Structure 1
Amino acid sequence: MRPLAPLLACLLLLTHAALAPAAAKQPGPAKTAPDRRIAMTVDDLPWVQLPQVETVSILADHHRLMAAIRKAGVPAIGFVNEGKLEADGQVQPERLAMLRDWLDAGATLGNHSFSHADLHAVGLPAYRDDILRGERQLRPLLSSRGQTPHWFRHPYLRAGRSAQDKTDLAQFLSAHGYRIAPVTVDNSDWIWAGAYLRAAAAPDADKLRKKLRRDYVQYMGRKLDYYEQQSIALLGYNLPQVWLIHANALNAACYGDLIAMARKRGYRFIGLDEAMRDPAYERADAYTGPAGPSWLHRWAIGEKKPASFFANEPEVPEWVMNLAQLDSE
């Protein structure tokens, strides 16, 4: 037989080891999650397809979007093209009422120019005129709610072909009480929206549209992840992001799911004013090329980051491109 005392000692040692606190393993420092804040911005109000379609044809989707915005209860700002309010040169009361719906839903409004003008195509003088035409209804509408327009969003995100154009435009906007509303979470929701409209005529429309909605929300999640990583790589932290979507049928159907997806990733929704208080937004926009990229990429271009920095951005799947009848983003 083995002596009893050594056996008891062995058992006591084994028991002590099993019950020892996990802290004895000396864990490394806990990782801090990125600061995840985001501002929701919606372009091309009152509706992307106006004035090419009859107002009555889009009202159901408009009301669906308004209901989703009210239910989500997060700050949002919509950017208005006043030219979409008109038919034959006359403002249509029901389209102006659509803008009031945004304010009633708790959102605010900004200027997106009258005609969705392309600065690079029309030049700075005509562009300035288009901005002022874009506040003829907007300014009194906001004034009736005790507000003033103070955000301007570039159509196509084209912000100037030269540093001088950028400086001159910034001075003009400042003189009229505006700041430029940048975009960091850039995406091609307009392609998905085009596919969604075309899917309505497909033999299996309901099934196809359901798949589009599901895959679209997943695509947007990948975009959030990508631009979070880009921000950390460029700035060392995740800045308060600014997300761009458009006023269209797809986003009317998916707005609540988009909000839920971002929240699941840990994002908290804030107003554009709060987001823009981050010092990163004081950086100069050095980009003068023909496209309209994310401001994170504009800053990266200004720092002469290599092509590898911009790699792996999520793309629209080929089947969606085909359904939208487009060859490239």
Structure 2
Amino acid sequence: MSKRLRAGLGMICLLSSLCVHAQAVDRRIAVTIDDLPWQRIGQTPEASLPAQHAALLAQLRQAGVPVVGFVNEDKLEIAGQVAPQRLSMLQDWLDAGYELGNHTYGHVDLHEVGLPAFEDAILRGERQLRPLLAERGQMPRYFRHPYLRAGRTPQERAALSGFLGEHGYRIVPVTVDNGEWVWAFAYARVLEQQPAGAAREATLRQLRRGYVPYMLNKLDYFEHQSQALLGYALPQIWLMHANELNAVCYAELVAAAQRRGYRFITVEEALRDPAYARGEAGYDGRFGPSWLHRWAMAENKPRTFYAGEPEVPKWVLDLAGLEGE
């Protein structure tokens, strides 16, 4: 056998091995959408809300993957009273087959209000949700921390976990954290503040075109983090919100992730992975990092471990009116 032929066969074997390895990566992901019934409901004109809501649900139906939506019950109210049209938005989610969880009343920050007030916000956050689900033979079983802030001490985290367990809740972590909310704020501000016309549409189109690649880059980053920390591709849990941007981009984003090799699963299936038994331990700061990074901190990974995370571009921050994520 000639050297050239041996070299060629060797290259074929190498490429075949790489392909087998690539195919062996089990890319699974669950979608969660926070801040129902609508993220910026206080800034969204009431007259435009039904159309925006319908557009988002149409995107969800087009994508056709499981979703858990997390509710802030204060967003159901106008002047302190539950608005029937806003409550019906949650009913639309349930009619479409999606599950709803508790995101507290008022989207409160545990690290600011303290544990007793936070526990009260959890209970106030199920006053409409629990009977709404009971009508369908269901009960709320999932909880999501606002701002992903889960407690600044092991004792606080343990007390909160115990309280949630007593009330039938399981914490739903976030592993694929991102600045999606910044892109969405930018998109909404352009819609609200710029006059209709070619210039506004060009800016909106630029945001739409940039959003999906940014989110895919985040997927790649956290898949790498999972491999580096755990040695395998964790079934990820993806954070998004109910907003104007996802009302036009969500189906495209899901399709792009599927082309990347991701299979969309339920939160319940994702949480079966034993890594999630690690809980919230590892981070005692004031912010709310990805659970993958919490676990890395628990293992005292060096600062270099966290390098390379994609950032929201400055032009998007400027459009959102923000200095940083």
Q: CA RMSD in A?
A: 1.9
How far apart, CA to CA, are the structure 2 residues paired with 1:284 and 1:87?
36
1:269 corresponds in structure 2 to 264
1:27 corresponds in structure 2 to 13
Match of 1:114 among 105, 115, 124: 105
How far apart, CA to CA, are the structure 2 residues paired with 1:314 and 1:43?
21
Give the deviation of 1:291 after TM superposition: 0.9
Identity across the alignment (%): 58
Q: Is the 8 A contact 1:55 1:95 kept in 2?
A: no
Q: 1:164-219 CA distances to partner (integer Å, 9 max, x unpaired)? A: 00000010000000010100000011111111122221660111101100100110
How far apart, CA to CA, are the structure 2 residues paired with 1:297 and 1:222?
17
Which structure 1 residue ranges, 4+ long, deviate > 6 Å from structure 2?
22-26
2:228 corresponds in structure 1 to 233
Which letter maps to 1:82? E
1:208 corresponds in structure 2 to 203
2:151 corresponds in structure 1 to 160
How far apart, CA to CA, are the structure 1 residues paired with 2:278 and 2:126?
27
How far apart, CA to CA, are the structure 1 residues paired with 2:46 and 2:28?
35
Larger radius of gyration: 1
Match of 1:199 among 182, 190, 196: 190
Where do 5+ consecutive residues of structure 2 fail to align?
A: none
State whether structure 2 residue 323 is matched by structure 1 residue 327.
yes
Give the deviation of 1:24 after TM superposition: 8.5
Q: Is the 8 A contact 1:70 1:106 kept in 2?
A: no
How far apart, CA to CA, are the structure 1 residues paired with 2:279 and 2:265?
23
TM-score, length-scaled by structure 2 = 0.92
State whether structure 2 residue 224 is matched by structure 1 residue 224.
no
In structure 2, the CA distance between the partners of 1:63 and 1:26, relative to structure 1 (3 Å rule), is closer
How far apart, CA to CA, are the structure 1 residues paired with 2:238 and 2:80?
32
Which letter maps to 1:31? H
Q: Is the 8 A contact 1:43 1:112 kept in 2?
A: yes
Match of 1:305 among 278, 301, 321: 301
**What count of residue pairs does the alignment treat as equivalent?**
313
How far apart, CA to CA, are the structure 2 residues paired with 1:126 and 1:235?
36
Give the deviation of 1:53 after TM superposition: 4.0
Give the deviation of 1:51 after TM superposition: 3.4
1:5 corresponds in structure 2 to none
Q: Mean alpha-carbon deviation: is it higher for 319-328 or for 131-140?
A: 319-328
TM-score, length-scaled by structure 1 = 0.91
Match of 1:146 among 131, 134, 137: 137
Q: 1:219-275 CA distances to partner (integer Å, 9 max, x unpaired)? A: 001000000000000000010000000100001110111111110100011110000
Q: 1:274-307 CA distances to partner (integer Å, 9 max, x unpaired)? A: 0000001011422111111100001001111111
